[in-house]
Structure 1
Amino acid sequence: MGLFSGFLGNASDADISEVKRDLQAIMLDDEQVEHAYKLIRDLIVFTNRRMILVDKQGMTGKKTEYHSIPYKNITQFSIETAGHFDLDAELKIWVSSMHNPITKEFRKDDSIYSIQKALVAYTTK
């Protein structure tokens, strides 16, 4: 999909070796990045232990929030695909003890299906 897709809000596969390097400080020794998706500057990362939502903040992106969610705490999730006139697709993830879901918006593309498949694979183990 490339850089241009990322600017449009499309999720694209992220370089796993680069993601491992960037997350080295917060990952356990036996933890492995298995899937990663880039959405502009943010990331959705699936490791063998948890899902990590990486939110780059500010103009420079120096400030970063790492939201770790153990797979066992994901109670449900949904995707809403884009239509002909509504070009946004939406991912919602409900986490135990949170009233409102975590919501991520995507432009019309097929990456939301890959992310949904990863959620199924990791939450049904």
Structure 2
Amino acid sequence: MGLFSGLLGNYSEVSVQELHAQYGAYLMPEEKIQLGFKLVRDAFIFTDDRLMLIDHQGVTGKKTRVASIHLNAIYEVTMETGGTGFDDSEITIHYITSPYYKTNNVQTAQYKFEFGKKFNVQPIYVTLLSIAHENNKRLNA
């Protein structure tokens, strides 16, 4: 079921040890992996500072794109749980992309994660929502 779920675009949880072995070279000094999820080839990893998005490209997957969303840039999180039929669970994060968070011309983006309908997304949602809440208090102080 894990491979089938991955082919449908759903993430599944991966151990911190496996993620560190495969993606540890992309970590900053002293940065620690907290949690991570993987598709067939792609992954996203929570560290103590950022969310890493790993995108293996091409037929062989040797070409790799690594993007980061800093946790302190996340300002809104939405969640949808899986319904009946083929509905999946989703978490969408909204984050600031401009280098200065307190400015008149703030640039933002969003990123959507899809999980299998039976995956409990609530703990991830609550964690991200807590981060967004603290960021909102800090940014609007």
- TM above 0.5, yes or no, is yes
Task: Quote the Cα distance in structure 1 between the aligned partners of 2:96 and 2:88.
Answer: 26
Superposition map of 1:101-112 within 5 A: 101-112=110-121
- Runs of 4+ in structure 1 off by over 3 angstroms are 1-5, 7-10, 97-100, 120-125
TM-superposed CA distance for 1:45, in Å, is: 0.6
More strand per residue = 1
Greater displacement, 88-97 / 69-78: 88-97
Contact 1:11 1:111 in 2 (8 A): no
Task: Quote the Cα distance in structure 2 between the aligned partners of 1:45 and 1:12.
Answer: 12
Matched AA of 2:118: D
1:42 aligns with 2:42: yes
Structure 2, gaps ≥5 residues long: 98-106, 136-141
Matched AA of 1:120: L
Q: Which of 125, 128, 141 matches 1:116?
A: 125
Q: Which of 1 and 2 has greater Rg?
A: 2
Q: Percent identity?
A: 34
Deviations 1:11-34 (A, max 9, x none): 221121121122222212211101
Residue 54 of structure 1: aligned partner: 54
Contact 2:76 2:129 in 1 (8 A): no
Contact 1:11 1:112 in 2 (8 A): no
Residue 95 of structure 1: aligned partner: 95
Residue 21 of structure 1: aligned partner: 21
Task: Quote the Cα distance in structure 1 between the aligned partners of 2:9 and 2:52.
Answer: 19
Distance 1:7 1:114, change over 3 A: farther
TM-superposed CA distance for 1:48, in Å, is: 1.0
Structure 1, gaps ≥5 residues long: none
Tell me the SS of whatever aligns to 1:83: coil
Residue 69 of structure 2: aligned partner: 69
- RMSD of the alignment, in Å? 2.4
Contact 1:10 1:111 in 2 (8 A): no
Contact 2:12 2:115 in 1 (8 A): no
Task: Quote the Cα distance in structure 2 between the aligned partners of 1:44 and 1:13.
Answer: 10
TM-superposed CA distance for 1:107, in Å, is: 3.1
